[in-house]
Structure 1
Amino acid sequence: MSAKKIGITREWLSKIKNKFEKENRDPRKLEPIPKAPHNRDNRNRISKEVEKKILKIRDESENIWGKVKIAVALERDYKIKINPNTVNKYLHKNKRINPKISLKNSKAWKAKITREKMDIELRVKYRPPKEIKDYAPGALVEKDMKYVPKYKQEAPGKAGENFFNQHTELCSFTRIRAIGLKLDGGALGSTDAHIESAKKFPFKIACENTDNGSENNGVFRGQLQEDDVFHFYSNIDTPIDNPRVERSHLTDELEFYQRGGLKRTFEEQKQALEEWEYFYNCKRPHQALGYLTPMEFHDLWKENPEAAYKITRKYQAYLKKQKIRLANARRIKKREQIEALMKFIDAKLKDKKST
């Protein structure tokens, strides 16, 4: 193995080894001489004046400008040309680097390494790719928790004791939902709800997308790992990374809770949610599914996958068209309006110059 590493034959290595052993020579003498200088005192360094100018520019930017901007400002304002890495060295030397920014950069680097090891680590701290959202039943399940207010507020001022916890898991492709109502809003309650939801779904779960709440870590994370479920964490404070389950919670609010869905006791609320779950999955038409119910869409996919994909493509095209329409609705479209606006701007600017 050693011969292979240094690129010679085993016989030749054996002869060298015997010669060194007989003469009591150190094999480390074969290592190349390091090129690093023994003494760096004679190296050209920047003067104290330039160092002060670097710190001055950094202070004037309120510790925001980085090494490149400072190097550009030095050359522009003082005709001093310095490599940005040298600037960075003196910023570190004078402790002018914000540790929070450095921590952010190190976390970003770790996230990049994690992304490159996706086949090893079944957990990543970024949102799932859009390609898997409409790929197949169970390819991506979105999970979120909704607070359900109790009929009677038991402990004013203590939010956790005034709500039940609705744990919702929704298949991104079929929109089939599993709802679990728990007293526990932590990881244990979330894990119990997930186990129950996995039994309700007519397919296996490959990937799950959650937010960064404490209920989605600890025991819950361990359960996903045990089930070989790839765990995506959406970006912090970004509900649009979990859009379909978030939208289903709006449907809960408008079509269920605001129409008599709130009950007096935990058991009554749980029973009402089970009935609502059945209605949502088996009775309620969904525009995104071509006005099929989630279960009908799932059955269609099993019989004719291409027909199901055609429905999703049609709805995505509709959403894209709506997005453009809404964007255009916010613009000034008539040429006369634009010309009138330009005249107003010219008059305003001209009036200002004359004064």
Structure 2
Amino acid sequence: MRAFKILPVEIKVKDFNLSKKALKRLEWMDWYFAHGKNARLTCRHFGISPDTFYLWKRKFSPYNLKTLEFNTKLCTPHKLREMTTQPWILKKIYDIRLNDLTKSKYEIEEELKREGIKVSSKVIQKVINRHSELKNTEHIRRINKSRNYKVARIKAAIELKDKDLGSLIQIDTKHLYILGQRFFIFVAIDCKSRLGFVYAYKSCNSTNAADFLKRVTDYFPFFIQAVNTDNGPEYLLKFHELTERLNIPHYFTHPHTPKMNSRAERLIKTLEYEFIHYRNVLPEIEDVKRICGEFNDHYNNKRLHAAIHYQTPREYVTNYLHQKGVVYGI
């Protein structure tokens, strides 16, 4: 930009503190004066219409570059529209809302209707918007405060899956309907060793999810370094508080993306196909818990897994820890 060509004295453009759009218009004027004041050539060079260029050329003054700024005051009508509602009705709306900031425009409309005053909710909302003291700022403050307590949904790095024992434990929940009764199966699996643990509950909430995490930490013979869950409400509140107390990072999957918890999903399928579907009657929660215990023993101690070279998960954990020189006592 050669802005010095059109300025009466040598001065830096940045001293005027112009906006980006104003600097762009100044570039038009600079190019216009530097090329023989050819307006059509300037319009073709910058790809603007002649009407736009002449509009700003008429406003431009080399002694005041602020003339290239868009002044919204010039677009304001000289006479603004006024509300046609009678002032005493507006005053009544003001008083009702001021006495109770929690009243909505619909409640105020109904209250005035019972007094024989017909006024629309849109008019009431305009009155509220025009007076800052009528806005329910306490409600907004509570909403913002609750938003500050939201859990950060951090995603686990893919390298954590096969990094080490306990580097990432995938946890998921399965709803079972048996003879009209509903059960909730919580499952956990170590991505490295495929060591799994399942347990049943009658309800699905954060209290039971936290209890399940305690059982998982007691069952696994190694330290849990991180857990990965979906975005269900059972994995918030008490469950997340427990992960913070245990200093265990809590990762979340993307919404509607079960493949990010694929090994937990596969564990659920194995539980269904090999232990649940062929059972004739499982009427009580204790029976379901007993089946879960049998599955834990079979899955971890007897079932061979192709992903870990046809070893059982416990054999894999034992061999892995022995290679590291760690005594494994299970």
**Aligned residue runs from structure 1 range 1-355, under 5 A:** 35=15, 37=17, 79-80=47-48, 125-150=153-178, 152-153=179-180, 162-260=181-279, 263-304=282-323
Please tell me the residue identity of whatever aligns with 1:252.
L
Please tell me the residue identity of whatever aligns with 2:279.
G
Instruction: State the alpha-carbon separation in 2 of the partners of residues 247 and 39 from structure 1.
Output: 57
TM-score of the aligned structures, taking structure 1 as reference length: 0.50
Please tell me the residue identity of whatever aligns with 2:231.
N
Alignment CA distance shift 1:262-1:248 (3 Å): farther
Q: Which residue pairs with 2:64 in the alignment?
A: none
Please tell me the residue identity of whatever aligns with 1:166.
I
TM-score of the aligned structures, taking structure 2 as reference length: 0.53
Please tell me the residue identity of whatever aligns with 1:165.
F
Gaps of 5+ in 1: 1-33, 47-74, 83-122, 154-161, 307-355
Please tell me the residue identity of whatever aligns with 2:220.
F
Cα deviation code 1:257-297 (max 9, x no counterpart)? 12227612111111111111111111100110111000000
The offset of 1:183, in angstroms, is 1.3
SS at match of 1:165: strand
Instruction: State the alpha-carbon separation in 2 of the partners of residues 187 and 176 from structure 1.
Output: 23
Instruction: State the alpha-carbon separation in 2 of the partners of residues 140 and 42 from structure 1.
Output: 54
Q: Which runs of 4+ in 1 moved over 3 A?
A: 34-46, 78-82
The offset of 1:35, in angstroms, is 4.3
Kindly name which structure, 1 or 2, has the bigger radius of gyration based on alpha carbons. 2
Instruction: State the alpha-carbon separation in 2 of the partners of residues 169 and 39 from structure 1.
Output: 57
Q: Which residue pairs with 2:123 in the alignment?
A: none
Alignment CA distance shift 1:124-1:205 (3 Å): farther
Please tell me the residue identity of whatever aligns with 2:315.
E
Please tell me the residue identity of whatever aligns with 1:147.
H
Indicate if the aligned counterparts of 2:209 and 2:235 stay in contact, CA closer than 8 A. Answer: yes
The offset of 1:227, in angstroms, is 0.3
SS at match of 1:277: helix
SS at match of 1:223: helix
Instruction: State the alpha-carbon separation in 1 of the partners of residues 19 and 225 from structure 2.
Output: 59
**Percent identity at matched positions?**
25
Instruction: State the alpha-carbon separation in 2 of the partners of residues 238 and 217 from structure 1.
Output: 18
Instruction: State the alpha-carbon separation in 1 of the partners of residues 241 and 230 from structure 2.
Output: 16
The offset of 1:304, in angstroms, is 2.3
Instruction: State the alpha-carbon separation in 2 of the partners of residues 40 and 286 from structure 1.
Output: 63
Q: How many residues align?
A: 195
SS at match of 1:146: strand
Indicate if the aligned counterparts of 1:182 and 1:193 stay in contact, CA closer than 8 A. Answer: no
Alignment CA distance shift 1:149-1:45 (3 Å): same
Please tell me the residue identity of whatever aligns with 1:289.
I
Indicate if the aligned counterparts of 1:179 and 1:277 stay in contact, CA closer than 8 A. Answer: yes
Please tell me the residue identity of whatever aligns with 2:176.
V
Indicate if the aligned counterparts of 2:275 and 2:291 stay in contact, CA closer than 8 A. Answer: no
